[in-house]
Amino acid sequence: MEDVTGEAALAWVRERNAETVAALAGAPAFKVLENGIREVLDDDGRIPYVARRGRHLYNFWQDADHVRGVWRRTTPEEYRTDRPAWETVLDLDALAAAEGEKWAWAGSSVLAPEHRHALVMLSRDGADACVVREFDLDTLEFVEGGFEVAEAKTRIGWIDRDRIWIGTDFGPGSMSGSGYPLQVRRWRRGTPLHEAETVYEGRPSDLSASGWHDDTPGFERDFVHRQIDFWRQELFLLPEDGSDGPPLKIDVPDDAGASVHREWLIVTPKTPWLGHPAGSLLAFDFDAFLAGQREAAVLFTPDERTALAGYSWTRHHLVLGTTADVSSRMEILTPGADGWRRAPLPGVPPLSTAWVSCTDSDVDDDYFLNVSGFLQPSTLYAGTAGGGSEGEAGEAGADETVKQAPALFDTAGLAVRRHFATSADGTRVPYFVVGPEDRPGPGPTLLYGYGGFEISQAPHYSPVTGRAWLARGGTYVVAGIRGGGEYGPAWHRAALGADRVRAFEDFAAVARDLTARGITTPAQLGIEGGSNGGLLMGAMLTRHPELFGAVVAHVPLLDMLRFHRLLAGASWIAEYGDPDDPADRPHLEEISPYHQVRAEGAPYPPLLLLTSTRDDRVHPGHARKMAARLREHGHSVLFHEHLGGGHAGATDHGQTAFNEALVHTFLWERLTPRR
């Protein structure tokens, strides 16, 4: 089962796929649902989010006519029109046809300030590993004899026209146990890749290392980042180009986030530091910090209800995002001679999520702000921090509506509520309920959760969920359990390692609270999660089968005694623990769904497992082995594995629509049985 492309394993996969398709996809209603989902995925009214690169705004787009997608661009003036004229930069469908490869877009790096030269990353059928090719944004062609890197989990970025920072597979010892680069090399155009100068090398036990160039005019400098494990890191400033000396370590705690922008060092400590609580946002004068001073401007201090969500720079300002009980708040912060001034950014409704989608911090103070909620399609606003005045906070506001996504499902009679469940240890756990406002009694409900890696579950508009679940009368619930970032670093740390069970207890508490409130019943309650959320689903299946009527797990992590030996799994030891450490192995076996499957006891609810052969992050063997073991013990399980798709499970809208139709057909049939 762990032999990803082995003949026997793929034969087993094909058999299971056929069973699942026969069980779920044969009825005409399935095709209707699949077509409805595909319709919202392909809808041309979706907001085309952009990145500024010089005089153009760039966007990657997929629809019915561009299955693999098209990298395209337009001007800022044209973008503000209802139907912008787009210029095709790179057509992946045409490229795939010409080269006979199932290319998927994996991103780009564009060299400033000319913005002519790009490093384009292409993935084979959705894998994390990608190939890199140099692309000319004037001729719209790949550069013959330009920079090119074979398939690997490469880290790459421009220094200047003729040099790049690169970390890739240089042979034995150059990659970590997780499959990421350990070497940082400076590669000069026209020289063989293997001769690139090694500037830094991480330790064999590290997760990764990478280098990058800060091209901010007047602040040009180079950095190396050492990722010790998933939660510990070090940042180094390299000597000026051509000068001698070792890298200079930026002296912040190894569990803190640190970034440098112009004259500012921004630090987000994950544990208390310099008298500031975990989850703070601190600003230091970078040169003064290097000289030993530790006086910080406090940009954000959390409390028991609030957390840092993120920040973005414009030319003279910082746009700060925070949350209060998982609902967004935005501010504009402005550094000045007398300290940092702040002004609220109004217009963000309650129970919604806002984020800055685009700025160019080298050029001006313009920004795009995206706002959405469970029943509120995304609106993209344009604003100018400080009204365009250098050094002035001004009246903050994003009052120009640039794009408005369409309403793709009927929200009449639906409402959003925020509730709190009480977990086993008394912790108050937030969750959102989206569904009929006046349902007379309990009904079919889908509960989603993740609970890991400090990732928050915030309000968002999902036309797929709306069309496939809410429009049919279902209720949708999102739980903000521990392990996530809903209340900052402490909320995450509460479920690390041996405390992982706190996340499981939180999710079970939300399930019980839904039943206690009369929103649903165990027989009508389905649950869904992916990746780390797939581990959560497996834990619920084996620990609390009595609470649920159906379970869906996407690209799940399920074998917690071998996860560290499969693909990128070793990178998650800092999150879960080390199976080879006698101190960690007992709790990992206890939380490992694969090892907790039993034939006796309460029957398990029906399970649907989805994975991808091309997932090179979470090994498909997790789902394969779980399905096989459950079948051996006589439990109800359906399994489907796309040959492509990567960790996302799909690379195009057709695959996504098929997956979602499988999921919602499975759930609806089991949670609303015919009488």
DSSP-assigned letters across all residues of 322-383: EEETTEEEEEEEEEETTEEEEEE-----TTEEEEEEEE-TTT-SEEEEEEEETTEEEEEEEE
C-alpha span between 276 and 265 (Å, rounded): 16
194 an active-site residue?
no
Predicted local confidence at residue 242, as pLDDT: 63
Helix%, strand%, coil% for the chain, nearest 5: 25, 35, 40
DSSP-assigned states of every residue in 542-588:
HH-GGG-SEEEEES----TTTGGGSGGGGGGHHHH--TTSTTTHHHH
Choose among 316, 363, 354: nearest CA to 76: 363
Q: Annotated catalytic residue: which of 531, 571, 592, 612?
A: 531
The answer to whether the CB of 229 falls within 8 A of the CB of 207 is yes
Strand 366-373 versus strand 66-74 pairing type: unpaired
Predicted local confidence at residue 389, as pLDDT: 47
Strand 306-313 versus strand 637-642 pairing type: unpaired
Predicted local confidence at residue 422, as pLDDT: 98
Choose among 277, 266, 347, 283: nearest CA to 307: 277
pTM summary value: 0.96
Query: Is the CATH number of domain 7-39+408-671 2.60.40.60?
Result: no
Predicted local confidence at residue 395, as pLDDT: 46
Predicted local confidence at residue 367, as pLDDT: 97
**Over the stretch 535-549, which tens digit does the pLDDT of each residue have?**
999 999 999 999 999
Q: Return the bridge partners of 434, or none.
A: 416, 476
For residue 446, which amino acid is it? L
* Angle, in degrees to the nearest 10, between helices 621-632 and 532-543: 10
Predicted local confidence at residue 601, as pLDDT: 81
Residues in the chain with pLDDT values less than 50 = 388-396
Residues of the chain with CATH 3.40.50.1820: 7-39+408-671
For residue 100, which amino acid is it? G
Predicted local confidence at residue 439, as pLDDT: 84
Choose among 333, 274, 259: nearest CA to 300: 333
Predicted local confidence at residue 399, as pLDDT: 73
Q: Annotated catalytic residue: which of 56, 647, 653, 664?
A: 647
531 an active-site residue?
yes
